[in-house]
Structure 1
Amino acid sequence: MASSLAFYTPRVLLTGVAGITAIVPYIADYNETHVFNPRWPGHARFHNGQTMSMGSYLGVLTLWKTWRGGEKDNLLTASVIAAAYYITMGSAYYYPGATAWDPPQHFTVPYSHLYVVIPMLSIVATAFGLEQWRVTAQRSGEQKKAQ
C-alpha cells in the first residue's frame, strides 16, 4: 500500500495542478473584465486568448507526461511543464506598466497573483520531491536485493 501511495501521490498532485492550469484561466478571464471588456484593444484580447490557450495546452501536456508510462524522466518533465504557467505568471510583474488588475476591478492587495503562483509552485515542487524520494527508495531497495 505504501508503495502505491508513493507512486500515486506525486501524480495526483500534478493532475490537480494540470486541471487548475487548464481550466481556471477561462473561469478568470472569459468574462466582461477580460475577453468581453469593451475597453480592451484587439491586441490585448489576442494575448489574453493566447494565455488562456497556453494554460490548456500546458495542462494537457502535464497530464500526458504525468501518466505516460515508460520513461524515467516523465515526472521531471511533467513538473517542468506544470511550473511553466506559474513561473511566467510571476514574471509578468517585471514588465513595465504591468498591473495585476484593470478597471473596473479594484483590489488593494499588491502582487495578488503571487497567492496563486507560490502555492502552485509549492505543489509542483512537493510532487517532484516525493517522486525523487520514491525513486531513490526504490533504487536503494533494488541495490539491497542485489547484494
Structure 2
Amino acid sequence: MPRITTGKVLLTLTSLVTLTGAYLADWNDTHIYNPNWPPHAKFHNAQTMSMGAALGLLGLYLLWVHRGVWTRSLVQVIVVTESLYWITQLSAILYPGTALVDGDWVPPIQPVLAGTMLVLNTLAYVLESRRLEHRIA
C-alpha cells in the first residue's frame, strides 16, 4: 500500500479539485447548457472540462496506483500535472475578449481558486522533496 504523507494528501486534494471543479462550475445554464453560446464555444468548454478530468485522473493514478519508486522526479511530474490546468486558467484572462465572469453579480473566484491550488501544489512539492532528501541522507 502506498505510504500516506502530507504531500500526497495535498496533491490528492488538488487532483480531486482539478478532476471535478470544472464540472461543478460549468455543467449548468451559464456554461454548457447556455442557449446563447454557439456550439463551438460549448465544444471548448467541454474540452476544458475533459482536460481537467484527464489531468486530475492522471495525478491520482500517479499518486496511488502507479507502482514505481516514489522519487523527487515523480513528485515533480505530479505537481506539474496538477498545476497545468490552473496555470492555463490564470492565463486565459490574457486573451482578447475574455472575462472572469459574465456580469457583475458573481465575484470572480477563479484567480483565488487557481492560486490556492498552485500554493498547495508548491507546498506538497516542498514537503515531499524534504522528506525524500531526509530519507536518502
TM-score scaled by length of structure 1: 0.84
The 5-angstrom pairing of residues 10-25 of structure 1 reads 10-25=7-22
| Counterpart code for 1:117 | A
Q: Which residue of 2 aligns with 1:128?
A: 125
Of residues 43, 53, 59 in structure 2, which corresponds to 1:56?
53
Matched, 1:66 2:63: yes
Counterpart contact for 1:11–1:66, Cα < 8 Å: yes
CA distance in 2, matches of 1:75, 1:83: 12
Cα distance, 1:85 vs. partner?
A: 0.4
Cα distance, 1:52 vs. partner?
A: 0.4
Counterpart contact for 1:83–1:124, Cα < 8 Å: yes
SS in 2 for 1:55: helix
Q: Which portions of structure 1, spanning 4 or more consecutive aligned residues, are displaced by more than 6 angstroms?
A: none
Q: Which residue of 1 aligns with 2:25?
A: 28
Unaligned runs of 5+ in 2: none
Unaligned runs of 5+ in 1: 141-147
Q: Which residue of 2 aligns with 1:94?
A: 94
CA distance in 2, matches of 1:112, 1:27: 13
Q: 1:47-104 CA deviation, whole Å, 9 max, x = no partner?
A: 000000001000001111222232422211110000010000000010011101125x
Matched, 1:137 2:134: yes
| Counterpart code for 2:105 | H
Counterpart contact for 1:19–1:59, Cα < 8 Å: yes
Q: Percent identity?
A: 37
SS in 2 for 1:127: helix
Counterpart contact for 1:59–1:82, Cα < 8 Å: yes
Matched, 1:42 2:39: yes
CA distance in 2, matches of 1:77, 1:33: 34
TM-score scaled by length of structure 2: 0.89
Matched residue count: 132
Select the structure of larger CA radius of gyration. 1
| Counterpart code for 1:41 | P
CA distance in 2, matches of 1:36, 1:43: 13
Q: Which residue of 2 aligns with 1:106?
A: 105
